[in-house]
């Protein structure tokens, strides 16, 4: 087998190793988590970006420039580090090809371990399950407990949400982060290897910390976070739509019905402000036949019914199938 074919095989196996590692062990310790390091940099750089920021509503090109510069410096540093680690594994792989082919699984495992922190399927699944469990009176849960648990997932005001609204918010988060936290890193890994996945994770973290349209936690990000928000939009454009397509494919719809679902999906996805998050959320709403609402902002599939406990379980099942489908596609793409 040629070195190029071996590298493709190792990359494909690394995807599977990353998901198995995620399933078995979850997130790395905080002190060793690369996303935590990214967050620390963004927190430190954010203080400089926020220096002399203009009041909300005022044009602030200086803040926008500082935000873009800090983002680019951080992304380049992440890319170079990831590239260096990948090169070390590539050098190791060349030695493996020459005389120790039995060590290919070890190289795939090491690459999978490096890829794992860029995705977080187990944590996402458990957090959504925890919201449903907190609502369930059979486990000592209540509406107040469900609202409190939901605060770990969303930044919106949850104080007046009914039980169906709590479930809707959890399912929305599941659908959106299925793309952001799982399938998008796999996509960029398939395209550009470990540097692609790492740079995407940096961009997504920067959007989460800086990408607000106005004041958040006492800081004005309208201009300071504009670059971070737009970069995340660009990098998520394809993965969000692929996630929606994957959900439709695993949802059991075929033929004309599936074509109708795609047309309905395009219509519903446009109801959100974000150019991307509406796609997986709308797909989940249509497949479950439930309405997904963000109060005073949007309603997806308005004619759908109220979300019930079984809908959370079904949403998690669909998401799990979509992860397997996309992981398989990513592995095949890398292999060939």
Question: In angstroms, rounded to a whole number, what is the distance separating the alpha carbons of residues 268 and 261?
Answer: 10
- Using alpha carbons, select from 312, 43, 277 the residue that is nearest to residue 165: 312
Question: Secondary structure of the chain: what % helix, strand, coil (to 5)?
Answer: 75, 5, 20
Question: In angstroms, rounded to a whole number, what is the distance separating the alpha carbons of residues 123 and 213?
Answer: 27
User: 3-class SS at 290?
Assistant: strand
Entry field: residues in the chain = 336
Per-residue confidence in pLDDT tens, the chain, 336 aa: 444 555 678 888 999 999 999 999 999 999 999 999 999 999 999 999 998 888 776 788 999 999 999 999 999 999 999 999 998 887 765 555 444 555 677 888 899 999 999 999 999 999 999 999 999 998 889 999 999 999 999 988 899 999 999 999 999 999 999 999 999 999 999 999 999 999 999 999 999 999 998 888 778 899 999 999 999 999 999 999 999 999 999 986 544 455 567 888 999 999 999 999 999 999 999 999 999 999 889 999 999 999 999 999 999 999 999 999 999 999 888 855
Question: In angstroms, rounded to a whole number, what is the distance separating the alpha carbons of residues 275 and 176?
Answer: 12
The answer to whether residues 93 and 6 touch, using CB atoms and an 8 Å cutoff, is: yes
Question: In angstroms, rounded to a whole number, what is the distance separating the alpha carbons of residues 276 and 241?
Answer: 7
**CA distances (Å), origin 195, targets 39, 84, 85, 137, 217:** 17, 9, 9, 45, 31
The answer to whether residues 202 and 75 touch, using CB atoms and an 8 Å cutoff, is: yes
Strands (E), 165-278: 215-216, 219-220
Residue 290, beta-bridge partner list: 305
Question: In angstroms, rounded to a whole number, what is the distance separating the alpha carbons of residues 48 and 42?
Answer: 10
Half-sphere CA count of 97, side-chain side, radius 13 A: 16
Return the pLDDT at 262.
Answer: 80
Domain assignments of the chain as residue spans, ordered by start? 3-335
Return the pLDDT at 101.
Answer: 54
Per the structure block, which two tokens stand in for 3?
């070195």
The enclosing H or E element of 293 equals strand 292-294
The answer to whether residues 196 and 118 touch, using CB atoms and an 8 Å cutoff, is: no
The answer to whether residues 127 and 153 touch, using CB atoms and an 8 Å cutoff, is: yes
Question: In angstroms, rounded to a whole number, what is the distance separating the alpha carbons of residues 187 and 322?
Answer: 13
Return the pLDDT at 258.
Answer: 57
Return the pLDDT at 157.
Answer: 87
The answer to whether residues 35 and 185 touch, using CB atoms and an 8 Å cutoff, is: no
Return the pLDDT at 256.
Answer: 42
Per the structure block, which two tokens stand in for 58?
């005022």
Half-sphere CA count of 281, side-chain side, radius 13 A: 30
- Using alpha carbons, select from 242, 253, 124 the residue that is nearest to residue 181: 124
State the residue for tokens 């490096």. 114
| Cβ within 8 Å of residue 120, ≥6 positions away | 22, 27, 177, 181, 182
Q: What confidence tens digit (pLDDT) does each residue in 101-153 have?
A: 556 778 888 999 999 999 999 999 999 999 999 999 988 899 999 999 999 99
């Amino acid at each position: 087998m040629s070195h190029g074919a071996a590298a493709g095989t190792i990359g494909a196996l690394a995807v599977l190793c990353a998901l198995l590692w995620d399933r078995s062990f979850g997130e790395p310790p905080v002190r060793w988590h690369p996303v935590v390091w990214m967050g620390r940099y963004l927190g430190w750089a954010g203080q400089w970006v926020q220096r002399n920021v203009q009041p909300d509503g005022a044009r602030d090109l200086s803040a926008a420039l500082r935000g873009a510069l800090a983002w680019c410096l951080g992304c380049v540093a992440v890319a170079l580090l990831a590239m260096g680690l990948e090169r070390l594994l590539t050098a190791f792989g060349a030695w493996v090809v020459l005389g120790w082919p039995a060590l290919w699984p070890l190289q795939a495992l090491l690459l999978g371990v490096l890829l794992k922190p860029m995705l977080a399927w187990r944590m996402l699944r458990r957090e959504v399950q925890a919201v449903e469990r907190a609502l369930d009176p059979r486990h000592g849960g209540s509406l107040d407990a469900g609202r409190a648990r939901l605060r770990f997932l969303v930044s919106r005001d949850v104080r007046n949400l009914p039980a169906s609204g709590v479930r809707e918010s959890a399912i929305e988060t599941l659908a959106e982060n299925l793309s952001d936290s799982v399938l998008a890193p796999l996509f960029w890994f398939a395209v550009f290897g470990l540097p692609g996945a790492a740079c995407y994770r940096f961009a997504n973290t920067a959007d989460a910390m800086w990408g607000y349209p106005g004041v958040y936690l006492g800081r004005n990000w309208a201009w300071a976070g504009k670059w971070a928000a737009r970069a995340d939009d660009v990098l998520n454009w394809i993965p969000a739509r692929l996630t929606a397509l994957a959900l439709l494919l695993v949802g059991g719809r075929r033929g004309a019905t599936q074509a109708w679902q795609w047309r309905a999906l395009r219509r519903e996805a446009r109801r959100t402000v974000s150019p991307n998050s509406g796609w997986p959320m709308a797909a989940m709403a249509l497949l479950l036949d439930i309405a997904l609402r963000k109060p005073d902002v949007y309603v997806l599939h308005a004619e759908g019914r109220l979300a019930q406990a079984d809908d959370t379980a079904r949403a998690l099942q669909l998401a799990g199938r979509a992860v397997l489908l996309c992981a398989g596609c990513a592995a095949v793409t890398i292999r060939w």
